[in-house]
Amino acid sequence: MSQWFEEQLDVSLGRIFKVAYSDKLESVRSPFQKIEVFQTLSFGKMLVHDDVIMVTEKDEAHYHEMIAHVALTIHPNPEKVLVIGGGDGGTMREVLRHRQVKTAHLCEIDEMVVRVCQKHFPNLASSFTDRRVGLFFEDGATFILAHPHEYDVIIVDSSDPIGPAEVLFRREFYQGMADALKPDGIAVTQSESLHYHGSIIGKLASFCREIFPIYRYYYALVPTYPSGLIGFSFCSRQYDPLVDFDERRAERLGHLRYYTPAIHRAAFTLPAFCRDFLGE
């Protein structure tokens, strides 16, 4: 017997996915949110937080590869990396593909997300057993204040700016993140959809340019995210995402599902309408 999962995007838009079983594979409530896992017919297992899709097995690599490899193929020696959020483990999996990484910390506010994903998404969450990984179940905005000038790369794999993730879209967080980076550090953050969240992206771009000398927006195609794509903010004091791109290191990553050197370069080419909210 099958049923439908419905995600509401705004007051006038939504979408539905057919799932394989009348009962959810998992449904728990943590101190922060409702966490569910469905078996869909088209996208494999699907992780949902508070009725919003976070991850599906079929297209998770599009997102995780692009949030991780862009920064890590640009920084010349990313030995110490911090992932904020990312409790499913997919971003950490991609970080660990880079041989230069000696230490990788994950700061996830909701420990229950990690436990659910270790049970249902072992292809992602098995990354947490790597000897280089340290897990911290804390608020990311507070965590970075206690680690000044410590990280080569910070990756913010957050959910949308509501609930516990709202603080991760504030200017104060980005300033704290800049202070937690080493002088030549790079930060990449999940930065919503070009089609639905122009005002949010525009605000991010405005204060990021005041904090970081180099700011660029790029995107990836992810069918199960709103409008079929998701964007990222690239923030750096020193390295340009195209000028300083090390294509040979990108090629050494081997066979991935989405990321390639050509995709890396193309992701920074944006539609003309983006100029309106990015101020370019």
Catalytic sites, residue numbers: 157
Residue pair 94/63 in contact (Cβ under 8 Å)? The answer is no
- The DSSP annotation for 28-87 comes to EE-SS-EEEEEEBSSSSEEEEETTEEEEETTTHHHHHHHHHHHHHTTSS---EEEEEE-T
DSSP summary character for residue 268: T
SS3 for 6? strand
- The DSSP annotation for 192-255 comes to --TTT-HHHHHHHHHHHHHH-SEEEEEEEE-TTSGGGEEEEEEEESS--TTTT--HHHHHTT--
* Residue pointed to by tokens 């020193």: 238
Residue pair 214/238 in contact (Cβ under 8 Å)? The answer is yes
Distance (Å) of CA 34 to CA 8, 50, 102, 113: 16, 5, 34, 10
